[in-house]
Chain A
Amino acid sequence: MIRVQNLVKTFGSFTAVNDVSFEVAAGEIFAFLGPNGAGKTTTIKMLTTLLHPTSGSIELDGLDPRKHQNQVRQRFGIVFQDPSLDGDLTAWENMEIHGVLYHVPHKTRRQRSEELLKLFELWDRRNDQVKKFSGGMKRRLEIARGFLHTPKILFLDEPTLGLDPQSRNQLWSHVKRVNEAEKVTVMLTTHYMDEADRVAHRVGIIDHGKLVTQGTPAEIKEQTGTASLEDAFLKLTGSTIRDESAGSADQMRQFAKMWQQQRR
């Protein structure tokens, strides 16, 4: 379903993704793991047509994102690292906009929105503005929205960041259920190794832009001779801390927080 070969992305003299190759089969849940700044999000951005690769090839469902941009976009759903909902609109309206932008026919749109909102336990709150939702509810809504146009692939970029264990558990059980029911291929990134261990069929570990290893969680543990995926991860990527410099996006986020507090 996803095929990546010798993918490279450079920003100036900095190589963010360096010769990465992997494949994800249809219906599989693939976890893409790595320390901060390892190149996870950059890779996902290239897979989802937001960035152009410097070199290498990508195929999603047999299509090249560069040549068939809109067909590829129709085939995947994505939940970004940062929220991407419109807080002034209701949960239902957010689903509506998504459905229209992805050309889902009117009847199917209503039906599927209802099913998904019920499945993700948001149906009762469908007419509330999203800004009144908790972090967990927002995440659930984003994932429900990602499934609305029946994508073949769903990308989840750190979907459980900042959620409590209850919400995290619930979120993954929903994702697993839809993965099984609709045979959706899922590619996710996370910093919680236990989640990856539990949810993913296969795991790829990336560090400094290079794919260090890939395989089932069991294979990776065996390969490194460790008891948990977290130990295996630390053994493979070392225990030094990566410092990412704060970009303008982070500064904006802080500014927005201050602004919201003032308005309250």
Chain B
Amino acid sequence: MSAIYILWLRELKRYTRSRAQIIASLGQPMLYLLVLGFGLNPVFKKAGYGSYFQFIAPGVIGMSVLFSSIFSGLGLLWDRQFGFLKETLVAPVPRIEIMIGRTLGGCTVAVIQGLLVLTICLISGFRPAGWLAIPVAVGFMVLIALLFAALGVIFGSSLQDMQGFQLIMNFLVLPIYFLSGAMFPLTNQGKVLGFITALDPLSYGIDGMRSVLLSAATFRPAFGISIDLAVLIGVGCILLVLGAWRFSKIEV
């Protein structure tokens, strides 16, 4: 247990120590939120969907949780590079504990990042349907973070070097984000796009967050909260098991 705790603490310390990186990682969500959020607001309103700023805020929160959790898993590549991975792999600790500690750490960092973006949303005018909705939305953040931290571990354990990083960014992380409906409503989409977006686990996370944060009058859920929860938990468990298995196969 103490091994899990110390590796969790390590992820947190590394995060809080890189202040420049924290600020940099808030830049992109703020662009989406403020520029797109306010820029597309009039068009969205005219189309009868209500406020685009309110609509995109949960999507941007989901995006920052997604990025930060996947990158925490890919942090394995850095640790392989700078050697710290070896230090943990020759320790007399089961690998599963090492994997759990790292993943929980990455998940915690991602949720903190999500909370920071949520705060920015609130400051710039986002109003949830009720304040009690916020703890439930945080619950969804945790599920999203766990799922994608596990996905990051799967790829981080399988890749040997940094060259694969760009590949993952362009063919995995960005498509997951753009296809999740973070920026557009998933209802009334064409068959092809509708099908693809339904395959994206992040769609369910963002749909869930919107269902709790936005009032029923302005947002119609694409899947419904119970389906959202079931998919997130189900896929999350599968990915965690796969991640643990890939992690146990790492050779240094």
**A contact set with B: CB distance below 8 Å:** 48-51, 69-71, 73-74, 78, 80, 82-89, 93, 96-98, 100-103, 129, 248, 251-253, 255-256
Contact assessment for B86 and A88 in the assembled complex, using a CB-CB cutoff below 8 Å: no
Contact assessment for B17 and A101 in the assembled complex, using a CB-CB cutoff below 8 Å: no
A252 in contact with B13 given A85-B84, A101-B91 (CB within 8 Å): no
Q: Which residues in A have their C-beta under 8 angstroms from that of B83?
A: 80, 82-85
B34 at the A/B interface (Cβ < 8 Å)? no
Q: Which residues in B have their C-beta under 8 angstroms from that of A93?
A: 10, 13
Q: 18 new A-B pairs (CB below 8 Å) besides A51-B251, A83-B83, A101-B92? A: A48-B90, A74-B92, A78-B90, A84-B82, A85-B84, A86-B82, A88-B17, A93-B10, A96-B6, A97-B87, A100-B2, A102-B91, A248-B160, A252-B80, A252-B160, A252-B162, A256-B81, A256-B82
Q: Taking CB as reference atom, which chain B residue is nearest A78?
A: B90
B93 at the A/B interface (Cβ < 8 Å)? yes
A252 in contact with B81 given A89-B10, A97-B6 (CB within 8 Å): yes
Q: When each residue 9-21 of chain B gets 1 if its CB lies under 8 Å from chain A and 0 otherwise, what string results?
A: 0100110011000
Chain A nearest CB: distance from B249 CB in Å? 13
Contact assessment for A73 and B91 in the assembled complex, using a CB-CB cutoff below 8 Å: yes
Chain A nearest CB: distance from B78 CB in Å? 8
Contact assessment for B161 and A252 in the assembled complex, using a CB-CB cutoff below 8 Å: yes
Q: Which residues in B have their C-beta under 8 angstroms from that of A74?
A: 92
Q: Which residues in A have their C-beta under 8 angstroms from that of B6?
A: 96-97, 100-101
Chain B nearest CB: distance from A166 CB in Å? 24
Q: Which residues in A have their C-beta under 8 angstroms from that of B160?
A: 248, 252
Q: Which residues in A have their C-beta under 8 angstroms from that of B47?
A: none
Q: Which residues in B have their C-beta under 8 angstroms from that of A49?
A: 90
The distance in angstroms between the C-alpha atoms of A78 and B161, with both chains bound, is 24
Q: Which residues in A have their C-beta under 8 angstroms from that of B162?
A: 252, 255-256
Closest 7 CB pairs of A and B: A84-B83, A101-B91, A73-B92, A70-B92, A100-B6, A84-B87, A74-B92
Contact assessment for B92 and A251 in the assembled complex, using a CB-CB cutoff below 8 Å: no
Q: Which residues in A have their C-beta under 8 angstroms from that of B252?
A: 50
24 A–B pairs (Cβ distance < 8 Å), ordered by A: A50-B252, A73-B90, A73-B91, A82-B86, A84-B83, A85-B82, A85-B83, A85-B87, A86-B79, A86-B82, A86-B84, A88-B17, A89-B14, A93-B10, A101-B3, A101-B93, A102-B92, A103-B2, A103-B92, A252-B160, A252-B162, A253-B81, A255-B161, A256-B82
Q: Which residues in B have their C-beta under 8 angstroms from that of A48?
A: 90
B51 at the A/B interface (Cβ < 8 Å)? no
Q: Taking CB as reference atom, which chain B residue is nearest A142?
A: B87
Chain B nearest CB: distance from A160 CB in Å? 17
Q: Which residues in A have their C-beta under 8 angstroms from that of B10?
A: 86, 89, 93, 97
B41 at the A/B interface (Cβ < 8 Å)? no
**Contact for A100 among B3, B90, B161, CB less than 8 A:** B3
Chain B nearest CB: distance from A3 CB in Å? 20
Q: Which residues in A have their C-beta under 8 angstroms from that of B248?
A: none
Contact assessment for A88 and B18 in the assembled complex, using a CB-CB cutoff below 8 Å: yes
The distance in angstroms between the C-alpha atoms of A86 and B102, with both chains bound, is 14
Q: Taking CB as reference atom, which chain B residue is nearest A83?
A: B83
Q: Which residues in A have their C-beta under 8 angstroms from that of B115?
A: none
Contact assessment for A50 and B84 in the assembled complex, using a CB-CB cutoff below 8 Å: no
Q: Taking CB as reference atom, which chain B residue is nearest A51?
A: B251
Q: Which residues in A have their C-beta under 8 angstroms from that of B138?
A: none
Q: Which residues in A have their C-beta under 8 angstroms from that of B89?
A: 50
The residues in B between 86 and 106 inclusive whose CB is less than 8 angstroms from any CB of A are: 86-94
Chain A nearest CB: distance from B11 CB in Å? 10
The distance in angstroms between the C-alpha atoms of A69 and B89, with both chains bound, is 12
The distance in angstroms between the C-alpha atoms of A85 and B83, with both chains bound, is 7
Contact assessment for A88 and B14 in the assembled complex, using a CB-CB cutoff below 8 Å: yes
Contact assessment for B161 and A251 in the assembled complex, using a CB-CB cutoff below 8 Å: yes
